[in-house]
Amino acid sequence: MALERDDRDAAALEAGYEKTHRAYELSGIFGAVIMACWLLLRIVQSAPVSLWWMTLAALIGILAADFTSGFVHWMFDTWGSVDTPIVGRLAIRTFRHHHVDEKAITHHDFVETNGHNFALSLLPGTVGVLWVRPDTATSFDVFFGMALLGLAVVNTWTSQIHKWAHTEERPRIVRLLQDARIILHPGHHAVHHKTPHRRNYCITLGWLNAPLRAIHFFETLERIITAVTGAIPRADDLGELAAVEVAAEPDETRDKPESSLPIGA
Ligand SMILES: [Zn+2]
Ligand SMILES: [Zn+2]
């Protein structure tokens, strides 16, 4: 495939990590922890629900976190550029950087790795705190609050789990969880790093990648957005000519089946 994109200057993209960005990440971590603890307290103070409902709420929260990781990843990989107001430097820059230097993430400290996802977890945490009122909460309110707590907590792990998918030296327990496909497996994620980067967007567990692909979820969304706005998916990441070429072909005809791709360590 003749992509017109030259490798971007990875150093320039990395240099876009500014002090204000770090302040935002620290605030996100601080705020998300407080909000999750507050939501947990409200749930504990409410009428209890059965273990079955708790398990179901946790499962829904986990799946919602995996879906969120895929949706956000797809959005920032596919649309906009580093020059897009607010999210350009704050978020899109990190996704562009990761495609040109996928190992850079392994050198990021805890704050740089996880700040974004903690900040994102503020949203379900805040909704949960506003939703669950211990004095009047119904069983459904508590169930919904638990699902939101599950989403908030698992979502905070997304970037750490993604980082482990790129890390050579990782704890034994992490390898076991990866091998059991409970969290994102390096081989499964390596498929995403093949140009044009349009498979396996989910990077928390990876459980939803196959079902979303089976229903052409992201392809359909891209076609709708292009039809409505005229925007070309991945125009900034691949270069406009290559992006037009990629968008014109169904994924199945362009990429090798996942089973034929090498599985990473
Ligand atoms: Zn990507
Ligand atoms: Zn990656």
Instruction: Give the domain ranges of the chain.
Output: 14-260
pLDDT of residue 9: 67
What ligand is nearest to the CA atom of residue 200? Answer: 1
* Cα 57 to ligand 2 centre (Å): 28
pTM assigned to the model: 0.85
* Cα 162 to ligand 1 centre (Å): 11
Average pLDDT over residues 66-80: 96
pLDDT of residue 16: 61
* Cα 71 to ligand 2 centre (Å): 15
What ligand is nearest to the CA atom of residue 75? Answer: 1
Average pLDDT over residues 51-71: 97
Highest mean pLDDT among 18-22, 78-82, 102-106, 171-175: 171-175
pLDDT category at 247 given cuts 50, 70, 90 is confident
More reliable by pLDDT, 236 or 40: 40
Read off the pLDDT of residues 95-144 as tens digits, 9 standing for 90 and up: 999 999 999 999 999 999 999 999 999 999 999 999 999 999 999 999 99
* Cα 198 to ligand 2 centre (Å): 12
Residue given tokens 């603890």 in the structure block: 37
* Cα 203 to ligand 2 centre (Å): 8
pLDDT of residue 252: 60
Q: How many residues does the chain have?
A: 265
pLDDT above 70 for 187: yes
Instruction: Enumerate residues with CB within 5 Å of ligand 1 (an ion).
Output: 77, 197
pLDDT above 60 for 159: yes
* Cα 73 to ligand 1 centre (Å): 6
* Cα 122 to ligand 1 centre (Å): 23
More reliable by pLDDT, 81 or 247: 81
Average pLDDT over residues 57-77: 97
Q: In this predicted structure, which of 54-68, 103-117, 157-171, 250-264 has the lowest mean pLDDT?
A: 250-264
Quick one: three-class SS letters along the chain?
A: CCCCCCCCCHHHHHHCCCHHHHHHHHHHHHHHHHHHHHHHHHHHHCCCCCHHHHHHHHHHHHHHHHHHHHHHHHHHHHCCCCCCCCHHHHHHHHHHHHHHCCCHHHHCCHHHHHHHHHHHHHHHHHHHHHHCCCCCCCHHHHHHHHHHHHHHHHHHCHHHHHHHCCCCCCCHHHHHHHHCCCCCCHHHHHCCCCCCCCCCCCCCCCCCHHHHHHCCHHHHHHHHHHHHHCCCCCHHHHCHHHHHHHHHCCHHHHCCCHHHCCCCC
Please give the share of the chain, as a percent, with pLDDT higher than 70. Answer: 88
* Cα 191 to ligand 2 centre (Å): 9
* Cα 30 to ligand 1 centre (Å): 27
pLDDT of residue 222: 95
Structural contact between residues 29 and 115, judged by C-beta atoms closer than 8 angstroms: yes
Mean pLDDT of all residues belonging to the chain: 89
Average pLDDT over residues 9-19: 66
* Cα 99 to ligand 1 centre (Å): 6
pLDDT above 70 for 15: no
Taking the CA atoms of residue 11, residue 198, residue 260 and residue 207 in that order, the dihedral angle to the nearest 10 degrees is 100
Average pLDDT over residues 165-176: 96
pLDDT above 60 for 3: no
Q: At what angle do helices 139-156 and 51-78 cross, to 10 degrees?
A: 50
Read off the pLDDT of residues 201-231 as tens digits, 9 standing for 90 and up: 999 999 999 999 999 999 999 999 999 999 9
pLDDT above 50 for 260: no
* Cα 71 to ligand 1 centre (Å): 11
* Cα 133 to ligand 1 centre (Å): 39
